Structure 1
Amino acid sequence: MADASQMSQALAYVCAGILYPDGLEKSSVTGRQAIVRRGWLLPSDIFTAQNIRNYTDFVTVTMAAQKGATVPEPLGRPWQVQARILPTVSVRQSGQSVQVVFPENLPPSGVVGLWYDDGELQTTAAYAVTAQDTAETVASALAKQLLNGTADGAVVSVPGVSVLGNVVGYGESVRVSRRQSQLYRVSVWTADASVRDMIGRSLDTELAEKNWISTLDGRQAQLKFVGVEDVDAMQNQAVYRRDYLYELIFDTLQTQWTADMMFGVGTIDVGGQDSGFGAIAPAPGEDVVKRALEAMASAALSVSAQFEYPGMSLNQFGTVVSSAD
């Protein structure tokens, strides 16, 4: 989900893309070095060799103080499926056994499930495949969850019963838990007043065309222009500054990764009596499904950021740099 600091980062990426339209490795729109940072200037930005007075310009993105505004969110906070990941692993029925089959040219993914009914008890097992797994490790993990289960390489069996298998994918569901408005300050710092005008015009013109910007979680935030002012309090130190104020309206999301339904289960009214059908839902004791889904959720943000703003990242000082560096 996006928070206020991540919105600062997204806005810094947008500004960097405006100043370096051909990529961070190429020249800026002014032909000078321009550093874009999430956060204020550092002392070294003013007093070291690579500083404002040595033909280096800065653009900073910071949160500005404002009175909080209530922005209505969707009524009922409904859940919506935002993304789906189809399984690449499959299972092959082999007599009374099930063989786990891994893809040849794709990363493995999916939740593998097994179940059988011996006439007295329905038994299930499930395992969420990770990138470190092999067909053999998945089969071994499933066999350990089944009573009398055995694994021979990638084949799982239980003596005396017919084991059935299925593979399902993941779904990412989201809902808006809060919709908020935050004011941001985009500041231009330079030792040349004409360069301040040049950078300012580039940012102002391009941002004026953007009513929405992409957030790091793959969604959108509304961008509204609020105002602009020159801040010349440091003019006696040959530092010229201009501030642009923007309001961003964005959602704070609750995200839930879950597996698709693997085995159906339900009841039917037969002559006034409820009769059950299907297989019970898998519930592995070590909760391997949940752990794999949590790992996927933690990686989702970085994947979305790479997709929305390719080639950009932040270093330890909050400066936008090439992710290839």
Structure 2
Amino acid sequence: MADASQMSQVLAYVCAGILYPDGLEKPSLTGRQTVVRRGWLLPSDIFAAQNIRSHTDYVTVTMAAQKRAAVPEPLGRPWHVQARILPTVSVLQAGQTVQIVFPKDTVPSGVVGLWYAGVRQTTAAYAVTAQDTPDSVAAALAKQLPHGVADEAVVSVPDVSLLGNVVGYGESVRVSRRQSQLYRVSVWTADASVRDEIGLSLDMALAEKSWISTLDGRQAQLKFVSVEDVDAMQNQAIYRRDYLYELIFDVLQIQWAADMMFGVGTSDIPEGGSGFGAFVPALEESVVTQALSAMNVARLSASSCSEYPGMTLNQFGTVVCSTD
């Protein structure tokens, strides 16, 4: 989910992308070293050997403490599915048995379910991990079924017809709060002309961006507020310019879960109600723990695709190459 600090990080990434259009490992637009940071200057940025006075320029992104108007979120806070991770494992129906089939060149993932054909079926479910094999999945499912038998990757139950299915994972989200926050983008340099050059580059590029991508794959609205030269440090040969931007973004509640595998219900008719569907299995604690672990791996895999590839923050909040 996006919060105010993550939006500072996003704005820092956007500024770094503007100043280094060919990548952080290439020269900046000015040809000078320009450090982009989430947060204020460090003492070393002013007094160390490699500092503002040694032809190093800085752009900082910080939150500005000004009260902003409340922004209403969608009524009812409805849930919706934002992302899905499809399963790579499949099942093969062969008569009364089910065979577990793994992909050849892809990491196995998904939740495999088996159930008895007929009314009020007995069920079994297993969340596949990268360490599993078809045989291990079949053995885990057979263990959950009364009189279940695993013959390598094939699961069977004597005198029972088995059915199988595989589902993936989904990320459901809803807006908990829609927030408006003010941010300050500051240019720091020892050369007033460079301040104009960097400031103009940032101002013109950001003026074209009404929306920017957040780290969770959504969008935030970007609005220009004001600009101001701050020359209180001119006696130290430091020139600064502040650009103020308003960002409107959603604070999300996120829930990962497996897709529905089994269904159960009742029908109410004059002659009396009757049940249909499958009983949800009473899984052992180890099975539930394994399912949660597999789902967490899937979640991390889905969130690893950054909207700003090649960029990360170091321990000081400076934007650096993610391979550094």
TM-score (norm 2): 0.93
Q: How does 1:1-325 map onto structure 2 within 5 Å?
A: 1-116=1-116, 122-286=121-285, 287=288, 288-303=290-305, 306=306, 308-325=307-324
Deviation at 1:64, TM superposition (A): 1.1
1:42 and 1:302, CA in 2 relative to 1: closer, same or farther beyond 3 A?
farther
CA distance in 1, matches of 2:113, 2:252: 30
How many pairs are equivalent? 321
Letter in 1 for 2:238: V
Structure 1 residue runs without a partner (length 5+): none
Letter in 1 for 2:69: A
Letter in 1 for 2:237: A
* CA offset digits 1:224-261 (Å, max 9, x no partner): 11111111121111111111111111101111222222
Deviation at 1:68, TM superposition (A): 4.5
123-132 vs 242-251, greater mean Cα deviation: 123-132
CA distance in 1, matches of 2:148, 2:158: 8
CA distance in 2, matches of 1:192, 1:4: 31
* CA offset digits 1:29-83 (Å, max 9, x no partner): 1011111111111122112222111111111111111124311000000111111
**8 Å contact from structure 1 (residues 191, 239) kept in 2:** yes
* CA offset digits 1:126-149 (Å, max 9, x no partner): 112222322222222222322333
**8 Å contact from structure 2 (residues 63, 182) kept in 1:** yes
CA distance in 1, matches of 2:316, 2:304: 19
Q: Secondary structure at the match of 2:268?
A: strand
**8 Å contact from structure 2 (residues 121, 277) kept in 1:** no
The percentage of counterpart residues that share the same residue type is: 78
**8 Å contact from structure 2 (residues 117, 163) kept in 1:** no
Deviation at 1:213, TM superposition (A): 0.5
CA distance in 2, matches of 1:210, 1:219: 15
TM-score (norm 1): 0.93
CA distance in 1, matches of 2:279, 2:97: 19
RMSD: 1.9
Deviation at 1:117, TM superposition (A): 5.7
1:283 and 1:79, CA in 2 relative to 1: closer, same or farther beyond 3 A?
farther
Q: Secondary structure at the match of 1:45?
A: helix
Q: Secondary structure at the match of 1:218?
A: coil
Structure 2 residue runs without a partner (length 5+): none
